[in-house]
């Protein structure tokens, strides 16, 4: 399936391709169904339907000057560009654009690690640098720095951060956009801008002080469409000396409320790395009676759940804790966490886990010696990129809805109930039930996960998934829970839910877009922001 850019005929398209080839070299411009196949979203629930979004061409510049030239050409031809870094945004649209016929601006050739500073703990990279590339750079130079990596490791610090993606180490590092410091951006007219201290010629603090002076526009480039990011700095964690783990369980359903408050305290005080909540009762979901109870319309009562837990002698909740730091400090923090929680929640128990000096050995990274069942994926927890997460991918992939919910036990119970009831009409595994736990990825908030699989050979299933996604977005929003990130096919739905004061946030973004990019040269529609040309 090949598409043409909006308002353009075949002759105009041929002229556009000719100019792009002139700018970057003829080997680095692609069009036609076969060459464009890799730029389709193979995880799409609208795969092979009229709703699937197709790019018309792809262009891969080698440096920022070429990016600027490509943007100027696109502006002359009024053709939307869709910038990608490594283009692995699976679950959220892959490399496919918002607008049919867009030209993918594939930045994979700009793959230089420009600086990694061990004394000051930061890096500066180009968009085509993957987490594997950055890890190799750090490893080969023997630098004592820890990365924070998302899954899978083939993604890029820039692409991931611009999606506000997440990793699995300390709170301020696993929010990847939050951990960025300084960026270089090609604006919709081709001008090159630097944010923060990068705007001050001669400053050596670009990766240390993000704001510079005056308003900081950096946030506009995350999930936005105001420019093409060509360099980005990130803060890095000095490699901690030691890693320690421990598990805490609590017996009763409502103990989750206090447990979460303690975890909030530990996390916000900088004492713990990522935590994994779990319900040991999840092993009971194979029992149809228990599954029926946990997914009961309106949710089961606390007494019903406590009775079920007591009957099988299992605690209601567990939390996997991880500590990074000097050996003595991690031990003191574990002792403190244990005392704090066990002295406050009757029946709580603690089990000490694996602990060792960093960097970890290959065997330690495999996480085979933990004395209890653990949800921790050790490589991710220690910033080591991996492709192993692929084992969770079912069928032909999945789409993701990850509503942001308060870090509060009552809110977790409410989300379990509301979202569990909402998904009942769809023939899908129970993503939400009375044992669903929150994910603690972003620094200060929880999320839950809804990620139904798609099947290329089953359009009816995909259509059901598509309906389910839209319904979940809408129902969650009615309760104040918004999606944190969405595939292009859902970005308008999600953006519409952030509607305070008659959608003033979206209207403000549209005003900005109209001012700097009225023709929609950079990713029109991304983040639900459409310029005037496409609104009409």
Partner 1 sequence: MISRRSLLKWTAVAPALAAGSHAAFARMPHGLDALLLDERFSPEPQPGQPLIPVMRFAGDVTRVWYDHLDRRWREPGYVLGGITGSDALFVLENLAEQHGRRVVSRTVLDEPHFQGVAPISWVIAPHHPSVLA
In the region spanning residues 375 to 394, those forming contacts with partner 1, defined by CB under 8 A, are: 385-388, 390-391, 393
Q: Binding to partner 1 by residue 152, rule CB under 8 A? A: yes
Residues interacting with ligand FAD, by CB under 6 A? Answer: 83-91, 93, 95, 107, 127, 150-152, 155-156, 158-160, 162-163, 165-166, 228-229, 389, 392-393, 523, 526
8 Å CB contact between 319 and 412: no
Task: Supply the DSSP string of 482-520, one letter for each residue.
Answer: EES---HHHHHHHHHH--HHHHHHHHHHHHHHHHH-TT-
Output 108 or 338, the one with its CB closest to ligand FAD: 108
Going from the C-alpha of 166 to that of each of 102, 184, 240, 365, 386, the distances in angstroms are 27, 21, 20, 20, 15
Output 299 or 524, the one with its CB closest to ligand FAD: 524
- Comparing CA positions, the residue from 485, 448, 384, 393 lying closest to residue 175 is 485
Which entry of ligand FAD, partner 1, none binds 83, CB below 5 to 8 A by partner kind?
A: ligand FAD
> Which parts of 406-449 are beta strand (E)?
446-447
Output 55 or 523, the one with its CB closest to ligand FAD: 523
Confirm whether 484 is a catalytic residue.
yes
8 Å CB contact between 364 and 379: no
Phi, psi of 126 (to 5 degrees): -95, 165
Q: Specify the 3-state DSSP secondary structure of 221.
A: helix
- Comparing CA positions, the residue from 258, 208, 274 lying closest to residue 442 is 274
Which entry of ligand FAD, partner 1, none binds 132, CB below 5 to 8 A by partner kind?
A: partner 1
Output 37 or 336, the one with its CB closest to partner 1: 37
Which entry of partner 1, ligand FAD, none binds 388, CB below 5 to 8 A by partner kind?
A: partner 1
Q: Which one of the listed residues 484, 506, 526, 533 is annotated catalytic?
A: 484
Output 352 or 389, the one with its CB closest to ligand FAD: 389
Q: Which one of the listed residues 39, 40, 53, 92 is annotated catalytic?
A: 92
**Per rule CB under 8 A, count of chain residues that contact partner 1:** 19
Residue 221 CB, shortest distance to ligand FAD, in Å, is 6
Q: Specify the 3-state DSSP secondary structure of 129.
A: coil
State how far the Cα of 364 lies from the Cα of 378, in Å rounded to an integer.
8
Site map (CB under 8 A) of partner 1, residues 111-150, x = contact: ---------------------x---x--------------
Residue 111 CB, shortest distance to partner 1, in Å, is 10
Residue of 2, 15, 38, 445 that binds partner 1 (CB under 8 A): 38
Q: Binding to partner 1 by residue 33, rule CB under 8 A? A: no
> Which parts of 379-479 are beta strand (E)?
403-405, 446-447
Query: Residue for token digits 């709703």?
Result: 51
Which entry of partner 1, ligand FAD, none binds 127, CB below 5 to 8 A by partner kind?
A: ligand FAD
8 Å CB contact between 379 and 385: yes
Going from the C-alpha of 437 to that of each of 278, 319, 407, 524, the distances in angstroms are 6, 10, 11, 36
Q: Which one of the listed residues 276, 485, 506, 533 is annotated catalytic?
A: 485
| List of residues contacting partner 1 (CB under 8 A) | 27, 38, 42, 86-88, 108, 132, 136, 152-154, 385-388, 390-391, 393
Q: Which residues are catalytic?
A: 92, 484-485
């Amino acid at each position: 399936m090949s598409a043409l850019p909006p308002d353009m005929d075949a002759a105009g398209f041929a002229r556009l391709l000719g100019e792009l080839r002139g700018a970057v070299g003829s080997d680095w411009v692609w069009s036609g169904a076969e060459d464009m196949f890799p730029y389709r979203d193979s995880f799409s629930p609208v795969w092979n339907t009229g709703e699937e979004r197709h790019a018309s061409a792809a262009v891969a510049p080698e440096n920022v000057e070429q990016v600027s030239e490509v943007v100027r050409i696109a502006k002359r031809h009024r053709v939307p560009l869709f910038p990608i870094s490594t283009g692995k945004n699976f679950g959220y649209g892959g490399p496919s654009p918002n607008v049919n016929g867009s030209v993918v601006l594939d930045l994979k050739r700009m793959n230089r690690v420009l600086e990694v500073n061990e004394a000051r703990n930061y890096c500066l990279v180009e968009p085509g640098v993957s987490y594997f590339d950055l890890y190799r750079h750090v490893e080969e130079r023997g630098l004592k720095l820890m990365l924070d990596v998302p899954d899978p490791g083939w993604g890029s610090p820039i692409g991931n951060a611009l999606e506000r993606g997440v990793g699995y180490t300390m709170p301020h590092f696993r929010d990847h956009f939050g951990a960025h410091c300084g960026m270089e951006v090609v604006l919709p007219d081709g001008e090159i801008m630097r944010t923060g201290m990068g705007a001050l010629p001669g400053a050596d603090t670009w990766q240390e002080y993000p704001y510079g002076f005056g308003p900081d526009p950096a946030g506009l480039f995350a999930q936005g469409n105001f420019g093409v990011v060509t360099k980005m700095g990130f803060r890095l964690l000095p490699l901690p000396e030691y890693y320690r783990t421990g598990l805490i369980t609590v017996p009763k359903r409502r103990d989750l409320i206090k447990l979460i408050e303690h975890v909030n305290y530990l996390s916000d005080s900088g004492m713990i790395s990522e935590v994994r909540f779990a319900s040991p009762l999840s092993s009971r979901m194979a029992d149809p009676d228990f599954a029926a109870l946990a997914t009961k319309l309106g949710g089961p009562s606390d007494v019903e759940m406590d009775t079920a837990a007591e009957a099988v002698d299992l605690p209601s909740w567990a939390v996997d804790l991880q500590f990074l730091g000097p050996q003595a400090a991690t031990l003191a923090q574990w002792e403190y966490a244990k005392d704090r929680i066990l002295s406050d929640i009757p029946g709580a128990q603690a089990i000490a886990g694996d602990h060792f000096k960093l960097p970890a050995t290959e065997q330690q990274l495999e996480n085979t010696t933990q004395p209890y069942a653990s949800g921790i994926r050790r490589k991710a927890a220690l910033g080591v990129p991996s492709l192993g997460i692929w084992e969770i991918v079912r069928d032909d992939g999945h789409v993701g809805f990850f509503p942001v919910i308060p870090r509060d036990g009552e809110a977790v119970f409410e989300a379990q109930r509301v979202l569990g009831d909402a998904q009942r009409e769809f023939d899908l595994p129970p993503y939400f039930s009375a044992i669903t736990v929150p994910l603690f990825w972003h620094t200060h908030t929880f999320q839950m996960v809804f990620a139904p699989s798609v099947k290329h050979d089953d359009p009816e299933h995909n259509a059901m998934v598509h309906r389910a996604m839209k319904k979940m977005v809408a129902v969650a929003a009615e309760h104040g829970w918004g999606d944190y990130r969405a595939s292009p096919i859902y970005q308008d739905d999600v953006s519409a839910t952030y509607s305070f004061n008659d959608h003033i946030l979206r209207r403000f973004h549209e005003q900005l877009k109209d001012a700097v990019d009225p023709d929609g040269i950079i990713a029109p529609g991304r983040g639900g922001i459409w310029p005037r040309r496409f609104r009409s």
